[in-house]
Structures are given as structure tokens and as C-alpha cells.
Homo-oligomer: A and B are copies of this chain.
Amino acid sequence: MTAAGIDLGGTKLSLAVFSDEGKMRYKETMPLNNRSGKQAGQFITGAIKELLIRQNDNGNIIHSIGIAVPGISRSKTGTVWAPNITGWDEYPLLEEVQQVCDGIPVTIDSDRACYILGESWQGNAKGCKDAVYLAVGTGIGAGILTGGSILRGAHDIAGAIGWMALAKPFDIKYISCGCFEYHASGEGIAKVAKEILENNNTYSGQLNNKPMTDITAHDVFSAYESNDLVAIAVVKQCTEFWGMAIANLVSLFNPEKIILGGGVFGPAIKFISHIREEACRWAQPVSIQQVSIEASALGTDAGLYGAALLALQKINPGISA
């Protein structure tokens, strides 16, 4: 059997074709170019139509299609909420995709669910029934596998770990994105660096090389390499937050693995031993000894693998990660 895994990001669309043994046979990626609303939907259905036409040329007949979306997939209605795609509040993606698929089954799930499914199928959580993918990029989310099933919650919003309360008292800065995300996401790293710089008149390091508003997490990690004191302070604070959040996942879920992924892990994966140390201070002491904290093996392809696994499970429930 062959499945298509499709990963819709905030800025690009990736499509791949997989064998049921998890071999990726084909992959393409194309920019979304700020398409929004119905244009974004047509872009996706267009790309799927192309893929289905080409399957006859290359012999990879697609039996099922899985799609990872950057937000919430509402399982009861087939609609999608994606904050980075304008107009996608209750977008009827399932219906639109089914219309071009000629009876091929279509499954949609959130990107974070697909990340952990992908890692448990062909990545660093292979064979795990209890594992968490902590995705730290522009925002923060968690894909959570418990007893072999994806944790979805009553209304498909489970895993919104960016909202985790970690530092009281409450600050109005947390209102739009949550406490953990405010301090330790990609955007958070840049924001915290700017806050420190604004209160530091004597600083003359490399973070001054560009206008303060343009500073990114990437700049902070690069300054860290040169022993920049502001960058070191930001990384120290983030490590504390990442460690606390991981500790909380460990105490609540008692997982076999925590997989760190997303754009920030990436460069921040080099701090993994410090993050583990911090998590060890806070977590349930037996559980923390039973968990392995690792980098994503699949990187930016984790969502494609997970979407393909969902697609394969739809036509053969016996296939497990």
C-alpha cells in the first residue's frame, strides 16, 4: 500500500509519498506565498490533483491521504482552524480535498499530532506507546501519545502547552500567547532579548549590530556562540522554562520519550543536557529516570511521516507506529 503524507505549514506546503513500510519515495515542497482563505484551499487541492495525476506515470498508486495542519483539526466537522492562514477559522478542508480525491480516503490531524506519530513510526520514538513531541518554533505545541493513542481532548485542542503556567504572578504579557510561549518560543527568545537590551544602557555586544526590532532567535543563538552576555542570560532563562515544562510532561504522562523538535531545536538542541538537568530538579523523581529526552530524528519531515501513518491506519487499522 502507498500513502500520501501532506504537511501544511504556515508558509509552505510539502507533499510526500510513502510505502506502508515507511519508505519515503517522493517529496516536494512549495511556498504558500501568503495565500489565505479559499486561495490556500485551492492551492492544496491543486497540488493533490497534480500528485494523483502523476501517480499513474511513476506507478506509486496512492491508496490513502493524510494531511497535517498548523492549528486545530476538528474531527467532528472536518473543518480546520489555522491561525497563520487568514480566514481559516472553520475552514472546510476535508470536504474540499475529498472532492478532488475520487474516493481515496482522506484524514486530517493537527501538525503536533502528526509530529509524534511520525517519530513513533520512523523516528526517535519508534515503538513507543507513551511519548511526547515538544515543538518549539514561532509558537509552542505538544503532540502527545498515551497508551498508543493520540491525545486529542474533548474538542481536539489538547497539547496546547504554550499556555502552560510556569511563572507567577500572572503578567498581562501572557494574555495573547500563554506564559511558556511568551518566555521560551522562537518569538519569545527574541522578545526576552529585546527586553533585556532595553533595560541595559551599557551593552555594546553584537546584538546591537541591527535595529532592536529586527532581532530574531537566530541572532540570539549566534551571539551565544560568541559568549555574548545578553544571549547567555536569555538562553539560561529559556533552559529553565524548557526544563520545567518537560518536567511537567514527565510528572503527568510518565512517558518513555520526549522528543524535542521545531525550528528552535534546531540550534537549541545543543543545550539538551542542561535542559535535562533542569527537568531533573522538578520532575517526579522516578518518572524522570524512566524517560529519554532526545532530538527529533525526522526534523522537518516529522509531519509528513505522521500524516502518512494516519492515512495508512485509516485503510488498515492494524498498522501501528
Contacts and interface: CB of A to CB of B under 8 A. Distances in A.
A170 B166 CA distance: 11
A119 interface: no
Interface stretch (A22-30, A37-45, A94-102, A248-256): A248-256
Contacts of A281: 170, 174
Contact of A154 (B130, B158, B163, B240): B130
A254 B284 contact: no
Most buried by B among A130, A153, A245: A153
Contacts of A160: 251-252, 254, 284, 287
Contacts of A253: 151, 153, 158
A165 B281 CA distance: 9
Interface stretch (A3-11, A54-62, A142-150): A142-150
A137 interface: no
B156 A254 contact: yes
B157 A147 contact: no
Contacts of A286: 155, 157
A147 B256 CA distance: 20
Copies in the complex: 2
Given A252-B252, A254-B153, A240 B161 contact: no
Contacts of A168: 166-167, 240, 244
Nearest to A286: B157
Nearest to A131: B154
A160 to B, nearest CB: 4
A248 B147 contact: no
A183 B127 CA distance: 38
A282 B154 contact: no
A255 B166 contact: no
A290 interface: yes
Contact of A251 (B178, B247, B255, B290): B178
A254 B157 contact: yes
A67 interface: no
A147 B142 contact: no
Most buried by B among A154, A168, A286: A154
Given A168-B167, A178-B284, A282-B174, A251 B161 contact: yes
Contacts of A17: none
Contacts of A260: none
21 contacts: A130-B158, A146-B149, A147-B152, A151-B253, A153-B254, A155-B254, A155-B286, A155-B287, A162-B251, A163-B247, A163-B248, A164-B251, A164-B252, A165-B247, A166-B168, A168-B240, A178-B282, A178-B284, A179-B282, A248-B248, A252-B252
Given A154-B256, A163-B284, A252-B252, 17 more contacts: A130-B153, A130-B154, A147-B151, A147-B152, A149-B149, A152-B254, A153-B253, A153-B287, A154-B255, A155-B254, A164-B248, A164-B252, A165-B245, A165-B282, A168-B240, A168-B244, A170-B282
